[in-house]
Structure formats: structure tokens, C-alpha cells
Amino acid sequence: MRLDALLVEAAARLAAAGSPSPRLDAEMLLCHLLGVDRTWLYTWGDCEAEAAKVACFEALLTRREAGEPVAYLTGEREFWGLQLVTEPSTLIPRPDTETLVEAALEKASAATGRLLDLGTGTGAIALALASERPGWGVMGVDLRAEAVALAVRNAARLAIVNASFRQSDWFATLGNGERATQRFELIVSNPPYLADDDPHLARGDLRFEPVSALVAGEGGLADLYHLVRTARGHLALDGWLLLEHGAEQGSAVREALVAAGYLEVTTRLDLAGHERVTLGRWPGR
């Protein structure tokens, strides 16, 4: 079968299975299998597909029809122009989180500084920021050892040398208050923020992603509140805390930051116009 015909058939199958982007999914899976880019597929769509490749493609399509994320099937996802290795032990980096990166870069205007990424997962946020601010020392922490190992692997793969990663339950290995081992000009996090009864958990890619990285208590706000309280002991004078959150949580996070003594509290919108990232400056009092 020709590659272009194979893609038409695959896209139809994925559309019937409910994929929101059937043609793109099919192209990404076939590119992964053939080791080519999408431009190559468009140029050489009249090539005949080898029988062995067709069989492998069928297997990937079947898994995608069952809802398995493309990022887990290919083992890769692009974020901020960086090609990251992905695994089922971590969340899949999403475009909405680039709002957090953009806001952090605006605050990281100095030539040097220290930045902490809490719950780093694949290392996507930390590595995006480290790649843009080579003079900064960037640290990412995660509770799960497998996530830390993956972030280290991504840093090495991308040859980003100003980012380091360690295992930690939030700030646990960094000391606290006066015993804090170091303070940061910026602390960023995309913590779990879904309630355990959120209907999105039963849809799409979220069905396959680690629940521990998605769900928090207090209707999804528990970890956000915890970080608002505890980040103060790890921020440098006039340092910034930036938190990604759900589209309906902006008001609650703003109120928590103001109540905790942060100044210049504001919220950024994502590409869809939803409140997505709230930040505040810690005056160090």
C-alpha cells in the first residue's frame, strides 16, 4: 500500500475512535516508525510501504484507537522547541504550560540567577528555561526517582548543562526557613491541580497518565496552597513564585498569595484565553 493511502485509512480509523487530531496522530506515528519528518511524508507519499512496517503501524494504530497517548507510543513530545523523551511515569508536556515558561522568562531578566522547578517530571519546564537562560542555575526536583532519571536523560540528550535534578518531596531535601540550603530568585511549578472527581480524568490522554501527578486534595487546590505557604522560605528577596493551575482556580490562588503576603499578584492567560498561571513577588519580610 502507498504511504499516502495508508495515512488516509489510518486517519479514518482514528477519527472513528474519537481522536481529536486523527490525521496528525497518524502522521506522527508513521514518521516515528519510518524515522522521517512530516515533510518527507508529503514529498514521498507515493512510496510503497514495506509489509513489516505496515504491520508495526497497525499495532501502533490499535493502541492509539484504545486511547493510548501518541507521546507514549512514540516516546517523544516537543515542548518549547525541545524534543523530550516521554514515559508513562510522567505527565506529557502540554502547550498550555508554555504560558508558565513565558511568564518565568519575563521575570528572569538578569544575566544570572537561581531557579527551582518543583515537580519537574520530564524536566520540560526546567530545560526550557535553562536553554533560554544559560547564565542561570536551574534545579528541578520530583518525588519519583524515575521522573528524576528521565529529566537527567533529557538534559544530557539536549546537552543542557546548567540544569540539575534531584529527588525530593517538594522542598524536603532543600532545608526549610533559616535552614534552607539555598534561595531562589524564581520558583516555578506545574503541580497536581485536578480534583479526584474531575470528569477530565476519564477522558483522552489523562486516562493513561500518572494520577499522582494530576490529582490533589481540597478540590485540586491542596498542593497549590502548600506551595504558596512553603515557597516563602526558599525565595530570595523579591523572588517570584509562579504556579500553573486549572482554568477555574485563578481566583483561589490569587487570594492565597495575597493572604500569604506576596505582592504584585497577577494571572496570565493561556492560548485559549483561560486563566492558567498565577504569580506573586515575595518581599522577604
- Whether 19 and 87 map to the same domain: the answer is no
Q: Considering 44, 67, 90, which residue would you say is the last residue of a domain? A: 67
CB 149, CB 219: distance < 8 Å = no
- Whether 267 and 214 map to the same domain: the answer is yes
Q: What is the pLDDT of residue 27?
A: 96
Q: What is the pLDDT of residue 144?
A: 95
Q: What is the pLDDT of residue 200?
A: 86
- Whether 214 and 125 map to the same domain: the answer is yes
Residue 154 one-letter amino acid: N
- Whether 49 and 142 map to the same domain: the answer is no
Please work out, in degrees rounded to the nearest 5, the angle formed at the alpha carbon of residue 234 by the alpha carbons of 228 and 236. 110
Q: Dihedral sign, CA of 214, 32, 123, 241?
A: negative
Q: What is the pLDDT of residue 176?
A: 67
Whether residue 72 lies inside any domain: the answer is no
Number of domains in the chain: 2
Q: State the alpha helices, DSSP H only, in the chain.
A: 3-16, 22-34, 38-43, 51-65, 70-74, 98-107, 124-132, 145-158, 217-220, 222-230, 250-259
Q: What is the pLDDT of residue 120?
A: 97
The answer for residues whose C-beta is within 8 angstroms of residue 214's C-beta and 6 or more apart is 91, 192, 194, 201, 206
CB 64, CB 17: distance < 8 Å = yes
- Whether 58 and 91 map to the same domain: the answer is no
Whether residue 273 lies inside any domain: the answer is yes
Whether residue 248 lies inside any domain: the answer is yes
CATH code of the domain containing 30: 1.10.8.10
- Whether 161 and 59 map to the same domain: the answer is no
- Whether 37 and 173 map to the same domain: the answer is no
- Whether 95 and 125 map to the same domain: the answer is yes
- The 8-class DSSP code of residue 47 comes to S
φ, ψ of residue 101 to 5 degrees: the values are -60, -45
- Whether 130 and 200 map to the same domain: the answer is yes
What is the domain extent for residue 17?
3-67
Q: What is the pLDDT of residue 175?
A: 75
- Whether 189 and 140 map to the same domain: the answer is yes
Nearest to 151 by CA among 78, 84, 83, 76: 84
CB 151, CB 128: distance < 8 Å = no
Please work out, in degrees rounded to the nearest 5, the angle formed at the alpha carbon of residue 207 by the alpha carbons of 205 and 208. 75
Walk along the chain (285 residues) and give the pLDDT tens digit of each residue. 899 999 999 999 999 999 999 999 999 999 999 999 999 998 998 989 899 999 999 999 999 999 999 999 999 999 999 999 999 999 999 999 999 999 999 999 999 999 999 999 999 999 999 999 999 999 999 999 999 999 999 999 999 999 999 999 999 999 765 556 689 999 999 999 999 999 989 888 899 999 999 999 999 999 999 999 999 999 999 999 999 999 999 999 999 999 999 999 999 999 999 999 999 999 986
Q: Considering 20, 43, 67, which residue would you say is the last residue of a domain? A: 67
- Pairing of the two strands 163-167 and 184-189: unpaired
Side-chain half-sphere exposure of 28, counting CA atoms within 13 A = 17
CB 156, CB 132: distance < 8 Å = no
Q: How many CB atoms lie within 10 A of CB 16?
A: 10
Report DSSP letters for 154-211, one per residue.
HHHHHT--SEEEEE-STTGGG--GGG-S--EEEEEE----B-TT-GGGGSGGGGGS-G
- Whether 46 and 89 map to the same domain: the answer is no
Could you tell me the pTM of the whole model? Answer: 0.93
Whether residue 98 lies inside any domain: the answer is yes
- Whether 116 and 92 map to the same domain: the answer is yes
Q: What is the pLDDT of residue 182?
A: 82
Whether residue 73 lies inside any domain: the answer is no
CATH code of the domain containing 225: 3.40.50.150
